[in-house]
Amino acid sequence: MNAYRRSIIRILVVLLLLTAVGSRLSLADQRPRLRVVHAATGLQNIDIYVNDLLFFDNILFQYISDYTPVDAGERTIKVRPAGVSPEDPTMREVTESYNTDQEYTIIVAGRVRGIEYWRLTDDNSLPGDGTSKVRIVHASISTPTAEFCLGDVCRTLAFKEASDYFLLDPGLYQPHIRLNGVEMTTLDVPPLELKNNSVHTVFMIGQLQDQPTALRLLYTLDAGEYQIPSYPQPFPPGASQPPGVVQPAVPPPAYPPVTGAFLSTKAIGILVGGTLILLGCLGLWLARR
């Protein structure tokens, strides 16, 4: 084989490698992403499986995972106590469809003998400079309908309901909550800082039990120019700890766990890129023969 043909083959191999890597990474970036909120009062740490693969490991009550990509299509989600044997019963199993280029929030709430599970479809498109986008989720079982107010915007929600996304100016807001039919309706909650050109969610979790202090709010920054990990601290400094809740003595777990880490976009890029480089080297070796 002459030098001209070998040069042509090498150029074609390089172009094939670049095209294939770009295509695979693009497809990986478009996969649906999901996260999990552990809002089940009294329930110990949980594991979340996707199609029998451990995706979210040892989630503590009150913690919210980061988003993790999954393959599009029908996926079976299983909620299990953390660290149990695969032969042990699953607390909840749900099969739903996950669409390309979409983000979801899975909420596990309720009590040990009454696990509630539902899924939200998220809209993390940025609202634009000078604006913040926020929604509110009622995830507190056995708590009556509540009116949530941020600034001059109020939404009335029942358990398992989420508000629409609404726009507010960036800044510091003190949430106000009124619980219908409850004499003591004032909750001591920390202020919420809405970032510029960002998307936030407010979750109300806990269980009323005639004690509004058993309820609390979790704030997340879902998307924005200044994206940070969305793990909330278990309790704000100086706040009283709700009865029956044990404050974790360890930092929040990292997501996804090792068993699901290969599903990340970065890992897929590394695997695909390494495979294609090997194929390219093989092609160059054949071209020289």
Residue 270 domain-assigned (yes or no): no
Q: Would you call 200 helix, strand, or coil by DSSP? A: strand
Banded model confidence at residue 100, pLDDT cuts 50, 70, 90: very high
pLDDT at position 33 over 70 = yes
Given a cut of 80, whether residue 16 has pLDDT beyond it is no
120 touches 137 (CB < 8 A): yes
Q: Give CA–CA dist 55/57, Å, rounded.
A: 6
167-196 pLDDT tens trace: 999 999 999 988 887 765 556 788 999 999
- Report residue 289's pLDDT band, with 50, 70 and 90 as the boundaries: low
- In this prediction, residues 244-255 reach a mean pLDDT of 37
- Whole-number Å distance between alpha carbons of 95 and 122: 18
**Beta bridge partner(s), residue 161:** none
Whether pLDDT at 251 is above 50: no
Say what the pLDDT of residue 129 is.
94
Element (H, E) at 53: strand 53-59
Most confident segment among 13-17, 148-152, 206-210, 247-251: 148-152
The answer to whether residue 100 is domain-embedded is: yes
Number of domains in the chain: 1
- Mean pLDDT of the 211-234 span: 68
Residue where the block lists tokens 């649906």: 32
Q: Which of 39-53, 106-120, 155-169, 213-227 has the lowest mean pLDDT?
A: 213-227
Taking alpha carbons only, the member of 204, 220, 224 closest to residue 212 is 204
The edge-to-edge listing of strands for the beta sheet with 46-50 is: 53-59, 46-50, 73-81, 92-98
Residues 262 and 115: their CA atoms lie apart, in Å, by: 30
Burial of 199 (0-12, 13-18, 19+ CB in 10 A): buried
If residue 136 lies in a helix (H) or strand (E), which one and from where to where?
Answer: strand 132-138
pLDDT of amino acid 83: 82
pLDDT surpasses 50 at 73? yes
Residue 269: inside a domain, yes or no?
no
| pLDDT range class, residue 32, cuts 50, 70, 90 | very high
Instruction: State how far the alpha carbon of 160 is from the alpha carbons of 86, 88, 117, 221, 247, in Å.
Output: 29, 28, 9, 20, 25
81 cis-preceded (ω within 30 degrees of 0): no
| Residue 195 forms part of a structural domain | yes
User: Quick one: pLDDT at residue 113?
Assistant: 73
DSSP single-letter state for residue 251: P
- Measured in whole angstroms, how far is the alpha carbon of residue 237 from the centre of its chain? 25
**121 pairs with which residues across the strands?**
104
CA distance 25 to 50: 22
Encoded amino acid at 277, one letter? I
User: What residue numbers bound the domain in which 36 lies?
Assistant: 31-234+248-256
C-alpha R_g of the chain: 23
With CA atoms as reference, report the closest residue to 47 among 82, 77, 76, 75.
82
In a domain? residue 6: no
Task: Kindly give the residue spans of alpha helices, DSSP state H, lying in the chain.
Answer: 3-29, 265-288
User: Where does the pLDDT of residue 6 fall: very low under 50, low under 70, confident under 90, or very high at 90 and above?
Assistant: low
Residue 23 lies in a domain: no
Is 127:154 a contact under the CB 8 Å cutoff? Answer: no
The fraction of the chain above a pLDDT of 70, given in percent, is 64
Please name the helix (run of DSSP H) or strand (run of DSSP E) that holds residue 221, with its range, or none: strand 215-224
What is the three-class DSSP state of 256? coil
Residue 156 covered by a domain: yes
Strand, helix or coil at 205? strand
Read off the pLDDT of residues 120-178 as tens digits, 9 standing for 90 and up. Answer: 999 999 999 999 999 999 999 888 899 999 999 999 999 999 999 999 999 999 999 88
What span, in angstroms and rounded, lies between the C-alpha atoms of 10 and 132? 51
Reported as a pLDDT band with limits 50, 70 and 90, residue 258 is very low
- Residue 247 pLDDT grade (very low, low, confident, very high; cuts 50, 70, 90): very low
In a domain, 120, yes or no: yes
User: What six digits make up the tokens of 262?
Assistant: 């290969």
